[in-house]
Structure 1
Amino acid sequence: MTESDFNEADTAELVGEFRTVTQNLRREVGRIVVGQDQVVEHLLITLLVGGHCLVTGMPGTAKTLLVRTLADALGLKFDRIQFTPDLMPTDITGTDIIEDDANGKRSWRFIPGPIFTNVLLADEINRTPPKTQAALLEAMQEYSATVRGSRHDIERPFFVLATQNPLELEGTYPLPEAQLDRFLFNVLLDYLPLEDELTVVRRFTSEHLPEPVKPCTNAQQILAFQQLTRQVPVSQQVGRYAVELVRATRPEDPAATSAIKQYGKFGASVRAALFITMAAKARALMAGRYHVTTDDIDALASPVLRHRMMLNYFAEADGVSVDEVLRDLVDQRAAA
């Protein structure tokens, strides 16, 4: 489907469908997953721009339940990989086996791994060494996997949601910068507020458990929504704002804040500007708008940039976090 395939009436109809479907998805997922509305919004944005998402949170914060519920509501195929220290790359991509046919002739047959799905949960990705983590990289970037020199395409839509535990926990391996940069968002999943936690306990310990979620869409409609998202116009002013925001994360940039110059080691690449612009388009559509504003850019700055910036040892010594530095940057640019 190309841009010319949409006329004005089709676009208006699709925008209406887009908002209705995303509202239904949020409602269905919210029946099962309590108190994570913003996280659900970020996951939907990631899917609608064809990206991948990294979720950082402590064990027991419903990361697995969240992505499984979302996959069911999307009506897509779902698979899960539990990353462990002994996981091999072929456990992810699949492998070739030798089999005999009816005549006794031997031949190779490819057995697809769990990566050949629509929604893939890479659970606790930082529990496995970098060599195995890297097996995801080709699939995330190229929508394919190479096994024994043969390339196998992955059907779209393809959405990787990787969860990781905080690096302070034992037995974790930091993700390589090249792989971190492939994730559109790094979403923080925190413990719930008291009232939400009470709701979870009441809801899942009662006699009547919540009804299973109902599919609100399908793969074909999601692909159409992804194409629609790419068509949302971005004014020169908003586009410049997004690029300048990303450039200001680099300590050597003249627009960098004093905090970034003091605490920043390196900033975000041009990929961050691409991702934040695309994500802002999806956010605008979810709000019923066919144009992007600087508020969309500001709202998505932290999840897009927090895993693309690295702070120096002065920040560690002073107890300064990436999110604090980013909030200061966004506040200063909004006030300018």
Structure 2
Amino acid sequence: MIKSIVIVGAGLAGTTAARALRARGYAGRIHLIGNESQLPYDRPSLSKGVLGGAQEIPPLLMEAAWFESEGIELHLGDPVFAINAKERLVTLHSGLSLDFDRLLFATGMRPRKLSIPGGNLEGVFSLRNFADCAALRQAFTVAKSLVIIGGGLIGCEVATSARKAGLEVTILECADELLTRVLGRQIGAWCREQLEAMGVRIELNAHISHLSGERSVRSLVFADGREVEAELVLVSIGGDPEDTLLNAAGVACNQGVVVDACGQTSSPDIYAAGDVAVWPLRHGGRRALETYINSQQQAEAAVAAMLGEYNPVPQVATSWTERL
């Protein structure tokens, strides 16, 4: 009998799983663990409405009253220290230990950092959580220009928000088109045209040698010696699955947590969903799918399997954004 389920990660996949468990009639304990102290919130809004100032804070995924009424035991701002797969035990940084009959691992990704000199200068930002967004939004109020390294979905969305805030914006993309990895060349070309019409400067096949500056970033230097001034720099070059805890616990990982089409890992009582999970694809192969819709679908499939209903759901990469 399943009496206790621990969900590691209070983002979209983790919160969707908690909701799905109650919707399916599971009445046992649900522990939802999050690194941040805020209630689970809508992360995609960070690069759009929140960064642009239309929203002061990101919308909550579920109101506080829902967690209370559904008996979800929240552990916010208290990250997991270790997972013991054999003993089915999770230890938090506070020292609290939680046992589980099933565990869902939904920790998402960590932003990839620059591996070139100057990446740690002041004025260099990444965008992953609300604290990152608040810092970047504050910087927008005093700066006049922003250079974005990386022409993926986040980079393009931030470029739009920054232009609407009145900044001069440049996107530097190392590939020969925007968005090729996530949405393909045709949509990437369309997006580039829309951004350029807004006044965003875009340079493709751009290879950066280093960032220059004494304490704060002053410029970016290309491999060919050219230089572009920069008051602010956003590093948006993708992320790496946050699989360290399960890897240390002996669960199979390969650029993310390896799961079957129900979300089950190599440890039968542990499942994974969302950006951290390397999920089988409908047309063959497997990879982490960093999209909102896939995170929801995977969480629901994993919950069904945890409760004994095994319906394999190979994934298709599906994404969305807002009109520029």
- Report the TM range for the smaller structure's normalisation: under 0.3
Normalization by structure 2: what TM-score? 0.28
Instruction: Name the structure where helix makes up a greater proportion of residues.
Output: 1
- Structure number with the bigger relative contact order (C-alpha 8 A, sep ≥ 6) is 1
Normalization by structure 1: what TM-score? 0.27
